[in-house]
Structure 1
Amino acid sequence: MTTNRQKIGNWFRNSISAKMLTVGFLILILLIPLGFVKDLIRERGFRQAEVIEEINTKWGNQVVLNGPILKIPYHIYVEEKVFDEKTKTFLTSQKPERHYAYFFPWELDIQSKVQTKPLERGIYESVVFSSENVIKGKFAKLNFAVKEIKEEDILWDKATLLYKTSNLKGIRNTVKVGLGEKEYALKPKFDNSFMNTLESGYLSDLENIQEQALSFQSNISINGSNQLQFIPIGKETMVNMKSNWHSPSFNGNFLPDTEGKKITDAGFEAKWKILETNRRFGQYFFDNLPDLSQFSFGTEFLVPIDDYQKTERTSKYGLMIIGLTLLVFLLIQISSKIPIHPFQYLMIGLALVMFYTLLISISEHQNYLVAYLISSIAVVALITTYSRSILKHPKFTLLVLGSMFSLYAFIFVIIQLEDFALLVGSIGLFIILGIIMFTSRKIDWNGMQVTE
């Protein structure tokens, strides 16, 4: 019995396979605390998203603007039968019903100036914006003939002007529209749809619009977050947007003209020109005005990859860092016959896991670069100092220091890259594999001999 135990003990002490199995098992065990750390990173990221959403909701969410739109009532006549008791017959009469026509501008010119700024709550920060929008254009040639509506059935004196927006809460001025020589204030109208309505009082002198174009102008100051978009309802829609934001993402159905687009560290400028033929709706609707938000276009004020996203991406390389670091110690042990206890491997692995806890906690108070430097230097210093007492030889300690420094520098470079991350990562892993193959070629894997 004692002899068998001695044989098993000698096998574990002297067998390369036993050492490899032990290290492999420890790597699997270390996936448990690494998984907990990843959950912590995701939880903190979700908390950040919740706080940012709360800040944005109170300041003003995404903004979609649609207008101005002329809303003109008209009558159509339906046949109504009424039973006459005296004659015992049905009498037929024409009963008027009120319907509405919605007409879009012939020309729509929007000048939008957007100023972004950060809002903070505790350790979290959100980027919001305030925009000043000058909206000009003209209405002309309202076509009722398509519905065969007579002139006397058009209720010109009951016409109103509409704006639709996704964010009434964010409006910071009394919206007024100058139409011709008169000015009208718009008031909110209850609406359950995504786009809320602002409507003017009754317009006057609108009949002249059939003979000559009627110009309009309005100013809308609105707070929002995430994105600012417009709907191209003009027969010709022109939009010019300027902002101090350095990372715009132009989205929606239409992209800005390449000639008028400028993006610098100080901000951006973009111009759009959209014609009626570029979209899938005309210049008027009868009876119902549909939701046209699917045709919107504009800018998303894209926040660059934040520290939580970078930390989560970094944690995805945790298994690689743990595996390669322990592999370095294993190769040193095999080649030098220096005994390393499984407990010591475990301590080294836990120190590597602690890197991510340090990274997420420090990055909540400093930027990612500072947090990464502090965390990596702390962990590398800890493991290097620990390995010095284990390996008891300067060249092995320097090997551990150099390999860990290279690993953390390699991961940092990959995280900073976006378009070339996969390419650089693949090349780096190929080089690492080549180095391991080259350094381990002299090891006699069937025994404990290292060839010269």
Structure 2
Amino acid sequence: METQKQKKSFGQWIKTSITVRMLMVGILILTLLIPLSYIKNLIRERAYRQESVVKEINQKWGNEVLLYGPVLKIPYQIHSIKKTWDDKTKSYSEEDQITINHAFFFPNTLDIKTNIESETLGRSIYESVVYTANMNIKGSFIRPNFEIKDIAEEDILWNKATIIINSTNLKGIRSNLELKIGKDSYGLQSRYKQNSYTNTLETDFLKDYSLPKETPIDFSMDLIINGSEQLRFIPVGKETNVSMTSNWASPSFNGNYLPDTKTKEITESGFKAHWKVLQINREFEQEFFGVLPEIENSAFGVKLLIPVDEYQKSERASKYGYLVIALTFLVFFLIQTISRIHIHPFQYLMIGLALTMFYTLLISISEHSSFLSAYIIAGISVVLLISLYSKAILKSLKFMGFVAASLATLYAFIFVIIQLENYALLVGSIGLFVILGTIMMISRKIDWKND
């Protein structure tokens, strides 16, 4: 009889012990981390799928555009004396060996005016921003300075001089390229360039009157090119001026140089921007001998952004999944402890799974609608589901209303944090402090002595 009473009292203690309930709730929270991790992986998988589709769209239309040039390319001769021992004469014979090297000279002035007509292309539920850029490129070259390398005038091969332009996107070019130099025009042809970030376009040999031997020579060129996401330039001019207009309302100006704040203008109908970069602002000189360097790090320009990234916001929301589950379980735990209503672990598990369903609803609906609409629909659905379920297990409209108000407040609080950037930490900290204070006030009514 005594053993049965002990078993009964132990079983009763298991059912009524606050400590046991807390351990049970903690174990369930840790268990629900598994479906939450799967949901995060799902969000990343969908985001990766979006990225791959966008890349495919961009490759077919035209990738980002980086323009590097025009650059005057002039070959020159290098002399080296080769000494050979002659056994017959018992002396050295000298032979003048000539090798050809190239010098590269950047323009004295470079002015680029660009109009960007942007649009969005979609495939399935994904879309990418693409553009067609109409460019007018003007500038001038001055006489190249070979004296800094002690290169004699007779070693300069003026008749082999060309002009080159480097770009990352030859596929997107939509116009025949002709570079007007002085009074003559020269077509540009692609040249193979191994292991390089950019592709090279080069003219035929320049005629003598197209060369800046005695006086500066002007050049101009019109270019129409399809691209996506970014348009950037390298400031190769001793003075580089770039003016840009576009119908895209969400630009991100990036690179080594930002546009002039006095001329920059962003409206709902597009943007305008102007850059002025001087040689003294750069990290490289005006001429190179031997090899044309890779100076992409000095590029500047604009990135056309799609204003909303639903997957990024969904991932940020999922990071608060642990907090939502823990606080919701805490609400039910306090109700159970204060009112002495028995809640089975299975019922806690059902509530936790309903909370995780919020994120699958959020990501699936946001793919076909705005993030705000998806958040409202998913939030209302989960709050209604858990509220009706709590009415069934708690048998009280008062408790059901408390659960619904708590969940609605929690989801609204998280939505506000997601929208904020600079003040997210501050608002989150204040909100958690208020929640902790509320829990401390409510938990005062718990009688811990009878545990």
Matched position secondary structure for 1:210: coil
Note the C-alpha offset of 1:58.
2.5
Instruction: Choose the corresponding residue for 2:285, options 282, 286, 294.
Output: 282
Q: One-letter code of the match for 2:380?
A: I
Among all aligned residue pairs of Structure 1 and Structure 2, give the percentage whose two residues are the same amino acid.
54
C-alpha deviation, 1:241, in angstroms: 1.4
Q: Does 1:393 align with 2:435?
A: no
1:261 aligns with 2:286: no
Match of 1:331 among 329, 334, 337: 334
1:317 is matched with which residue: 317, 320, 324?
A: 320
Deviations 1:247-287 (A, max 9, x none): 22222211212212122232222211111111122111112
Matches within 5 A, 1:103-252: 103-192=105-194, 193-206=196-209, 209-252=212-255
Residue 439 of structure 1: CA displacement? 1.9
Partner of 1:423: 426
Which amino acid counterpart does residue 392 of structure 1 have in structure 2? K
CA distance in 2, matches of 1:436, 1:266: 49
1:75-121, Cα deviation, whole Å (9 max, x unpaired): 23232457889978764343432221111111000111122221212
Between 313-322 and 144-153, the greater mean CA deviation after superposition: 144-153
Match of 1:294 in 2: 297
1:65 is aligned to 2:67: yes
Which deviates more from structure 2 when the two are superposed, residues 338-347 or residues 190-199?
338-347
Q: In 2, Cα distance between the equivalents of 1:361 and 1:298? A: 35
1 CA distance for matches of 2:396 and 2:12?
25
How far is the alpha carbon of 1:226 from its aligned partner? 2.5
1: CA distance, partners of 2:72 / 2:181: 11
8 Å CA contact 2:182, 2:210 repeated in 1: no
Q: Distance in 2 between matches of 1:169 and 1:229?
A: 16
Give the Cα–Cα distance (whole angstroms) in 2 for the partners of residues 17 and 166 of structure 1: 65
| 1: CA distance, partners of 2:448 / 2:388 | 29
CA distance in 2, matches of 1:205, 1:440: 92
- d(CA) in 1 for partners of 2:321, 2:430: 18
Work out whether 1:44 is the aligned partner of 2:57.
no
Residue type matched to 1:245 in 2? W
Which of 368, 376, 385 aligns to 1:365? It is: 368
- Match of residue 22 from structure 2: 20
Contact 1:156–1:206 at 8 Å: present in 2 too? no
Counterpart-to-counterpart distance in 2, 1:366 and 1:105: 50
- Where in structure 1 do 4 or more consecutive aligned residues deviate above 4 Å? 80-91
Contact 2:75 2:103 (8 Å CA) reproduced? yes
TM-score normalised per structure 1: 0.94
Q: Distance in 1 between matches of 2:244 and 2:74?
A: 31
Deviations 1:275-322 (A, max 9, x none): 111112211111211111121111222334511111111000001111
- Is 1:273 the equivalent of 2:276? yes
CA distance, structure 1, for counterparts of residue 117 and residue 449 of structure 2: 69
1:210-261 Cα deviation digits (max 9, x unpaired): 3221111111222222321111110101111122222222222112122121
Tell me the CA shift for residue 323 of structure 1.
0.9
Between stretches 216-225 and 64-73, larger displacement belongs to 216-225
Distance in 1, Cα, partners of 2:114 & 2:139: 14
Q: Deviations over 1:123-180 (max 9, x none)?
A: 2212222211211111113112222223233222211110011122222222211100
When structure 1 is superposed on structure 2, of 312-321 and 360-369 the one drifting more is: 360-369
Matched, 1:78 2:80: yes
Structure 1: how far apart are the matches of 2:100 and 2:347? 86
Cα distance in 2 for residues equivalent to 1:13 and 1:96: 97
Q: Which range is displaced more, 315-324 or 54-63?
A: 54-63
Q: How many residues end up aligned between the 2 structures? A: 448
Residue by residue, what CA displacement relative to the aligned partner does 1:339-359 show, whole Å, maximum 9, x if unpaired? 211111111111001111111
Tell whether 2:379 aligns with 1:376: yes
Change (3 A) 1:84 1:240: same
Flag structure 2 segments of 5+ consecutive residues without an equivalent. none
Whole-angstrom distance in 1 between the partners of 2:46 and 2:211: 61
Specify every segment of 5 or more residues in structure 1 that has no aligned partner in the other structure, as ranges: none
Q: State TM-score, norm by structure 2.
A: 0.94
| Helix, strand or coil at the partner of 2:444 | coil
CA–CA distance in structure 2, aligned partners of residues 24 and 93 of structure 1: 88
Structure 1 pair 39–201 and aligned structure 2 pair: CA distance change class (3 A): same
CA distance in 2, matches of 1:446, 1:169: 78
Aligned-partner Cα distance in 2 for 1:31–1:415: 21
Instruction: Tell me whether 316-325 or 264-273 shows the greater mean CA deviation.
Output: 264-273
In the alignment, is the contact (CA less than 8 A) between 1:156 and 1:207 conserved in 2?
A: no
- Kindly indicate whether the alpha-carbon contact (under 8 Å) linking 2:210 and 2:217 is maintained by their aligned counterparts in 1: no
Q: Once the 2 structures are TM-superposed, how far is the Cα of residue 208 of structure 1 from its aligned partner? A: 5.7
Contact 1:175/1:218, CA 8 A, preserved across alignment: yes
1:31 corresponds to? 33
CA RMSD of aligned residues (A): 1.9
Asked if 1 retains the 8 angstrom alpha-carbon contact of 2:110 and 2:237, the reply is yes
